[in-house]
Structure 1
Amino acid sequence: MPVTVRWLLRHPELHLAAAGGSDDLSREIDFVVTTELADPAQWLSGGELVLTTGIGLLDRTGAVADRVGCDRYVQRLVERGIVALGFGVGLTFDDIPQDLVDAAAAARLPLIVVPRPTPFVAIARAVADRSAELQYRAQELAARAQPRMTRAAVSGGAVALLKELATACDGAALLLDDDGRVTQSAPAGVSPAVMRAVGEQVRGHRTSSAVTIGAETAIVTQPIRVAGRTYGHLAVASRHEPRPTDHVLIGHANSLLALDFDKPHRLDALAVRVNIAVFTLLLGDEPDGAHIQTLAVDAADGHGRVRVLVCRDLGANAGRVAGLLGARLTELRRPAFAVARPDGEVAVLLRGTDGEEAIAGLLGALPRSARRHVRAGVSSSVPLTAVADAYRDAITIAGTALRGGPVADRTSAAGVSLVATTDGRAALDVLSRLLIDPLVAYDDAHGTALTESLRSYLENHGQWETAATDLGVHRHTLRARIAKVETELGVDLGSARVRAELLLALLIRT
């Protein structure tokens, strides 16, 4: 960011002074150059502060250039666009030659006296440090302005956003339609001439951004576009050349406006899909599955995958819990897919990338009284087309969870999933009555431990020594008991299928 000549003259450690020339000390210094060339103009690009001790004003004989020579020297610098000329005294010259002072004054070029104790490098360093400081401040102000602009867009819409943008860019912010007509502006009193100039620039650049820098006004225009749809144009007009931070803020405002303008379009499209699904149901038809899936696409992660969370054993509280979980999702700016099921369950659609921390944070919305009774399970990550299967998996997994305990996942279901499902338990209950009840009755009648022995034998994979040690009996005693089990139940424990069914029948009783 540039530094002005006025600021440089006021620097307390440089001890510089003005020696005539232009009264316009607001000129901005882009760079500092030291040169003793008689004609340095060809090595300059404009915007520089040129520092010299005047060696270039001496001819081969050592004579000082006259007024005509000083005029030519100054004129070449002015034509090149330098900002000011700094003259170091006490070396080549004790004072600035009067002809150079008069030439600078005639050309309205600021002329600065640099005293002998002040090194040229100190001036260059001061300008560089000030430029870096101003650039940091500008970036800091832009960083502060962006949240204000976002809040303004959310709470006050386009008008409030334009006011913040105009303030941050120190100019005027305008909103135009596609024909270049100004629809809103901030501040309100933008001159007709500026509005005409902005409109002409928009009409000349309907599909692209543009920047024009005039004698009095600089104009930046950008189309507001989303997915090929143009919602108008954003413009900023100011008396200064657009700064890098201005472009950042204008781009941020453009994005906010694009989101705001596109929101009704997205909501309308969503409403159409919802209406089609509802009407299909009212007509008694089954809605198209692919069409229904598009309604939930915003709930998926970046790869289109989801997880299903199920909370069981809620009873009459299922509706309240679904509402609380849906509200938490809304607070997180996420689609609220949380529904109470008729059997006292709540199903929640999550992103496929949601892990333990995210799920725990979601369940944190529940009061402790409700969380103590909940058994929660979450499915693996699946595409939207497999949501129904994921829901069934989550029901089974939730059945393996402890009440009020951590959320169970597929790894928690290993070894207990059959016991956790309603259908599985029903089948195993029948199996237990057929195979285990007779054994328990025999133990009760005879004071034996056949049931306990069978379980230890099966859980230890038929390893006699290990099972006998667990029971605290000799392996021959265990062999006799297992033989008695086979006799009483009429089964062959040499069959892997028989052993598997008996173990399941035993597990259902615990």
Structure 2
Amino acid sequence: MLPTLRRLLGRPDLALTLLTPDGQLPAGTVDRVVEWVHSSDLLDPTPFLSAGQMLLTTGTQFASDTTEDAAYREYAHRLAAHGLVGLGFGTEVIRDGTPEPLVAACLAEGLPLVEVPYATPFIAVARTAGDLIAEDRYARNIWALSAQRAISLAALRPDGLSATLSELSRQLNHWVALFDASGTLTRVFPRDAFAGASAASFPTVAAEATSLLRRGQRSSVTIPIGEDTLTLQTLGRRDQLRGVLALGGASQLDQAGQGVVTSVIALAGLALEQNNALDRARRHLRAGLWHSLLNGDTDLVASISAEMWGPLPGGLVRIAVIDAPPERLDTITEFLEIRAEDQPGRLFFAHHNGRVSLCLDRTGEPVLHELVASFGVHIGLSDPSDYGTLPSALSQALRALERANEGPPAVVEFDLISRQGVLAFLARTDARDVGRATLTPITRFDAAHGTDLLGTMRVWLEHNAEYAAAAAALGIHRHTMRSHMRQAEQLLGRDLSSFPARADIWAALLAAGPQPSEV
């Protein structure tokens, strides 16, 4: 145990006396750790001191009984502001007793003042504190070796990673949590660490873990959270992070505790890397099974899947295709492995042509939105399908993915595209230039005369070429509407009374876009 002022006061061989009553000092002041003991008679020794130290002085810096009270107050203030844990005054060297103004000044600053008798040399106080520090360091080193041995033995158990984290929690008397590559909590020890009153701290812990993962670099952070000190450390290599180890407790870890945590981080990182090597083998197996599934070998795939991961999704399924950045592919795969393990029979996934393809039942779709939120990916989703038409469903998912890639990260369903109709695809081809060329006579006329003949024609077509309905929508007379459309026919050189002609102009409007520029 590290020395405190109270422990030094309790040593009869030192015969120290506390002159500032414990009850009149801030709570816990006498129990602060004394990191070192230093002696100086300088009026301002703070440049040579560090916070947490105890200062011993004989009072040479105070001239005599004529020293003004202000000098004592300034002296005590400097020491307290610098973070010293106590002041020891050696009597009968320069003067008898401890100056009362110094006692008052220290009490006002909340700085413990100890009287050191002439029979107790300063070196004895310093040596005692040093011996206690050395004893504590030795004890902590012994504890660290014992803790690391216990943790190493735990790592040999069947579920080595969980056993290791559980033992770490016991040794440190801290809660320990492991978050996966997506920032999801996968293990916590003790099991009820985030239950009851501690539940309020979980969102902060999870948010910090997610923040570290999104940076994509090896890093750590220590922050206060309530009455606990929270420490988080990423696991894995840069751009291939496997997760985050988080731990918290009422006390901050000392050097020995940090050493034990470092060893666990190495063990956990090794375990996750080994799991990753196994995942790569599983990935190749999944890819082969996916090809077999697309080729109609459903029974074969179902049999192997049941042995390895659980049953295939039942009933009607949907195919999802993810455009995964290469640097995030491993973490996305690990995320899906965990979800597949947690939700057996709801999803099957595999790598296919540089992308990740999923087969999901109707309850598996929330996983897709988790992927978007956690990894910022684009996903295309097919209509419901049976296993006999999976190739067609895959084609739908790929078409939906193309549309998804045109916007921000999101899940785009093929059903949304199909509702827009076949003509909506014209705007996604080189027909745009053809459409704009077709409409050029009208866009030129509008530009020259400040009219909106093009918009009028669009409204007319949207109202099934009915003059009265279109005129009402535009707030004009139906005869005016007819006049505008005759003018449009003349500019286009087309008779819009036939359906093929109207369909062609409608296709041109779709291909050109809502505001075609003048050619």
Q: Structure 1-normalised TM-score?
A: 0.49
Question: Which structure has the bigger radius of gyration?
Answer: 1
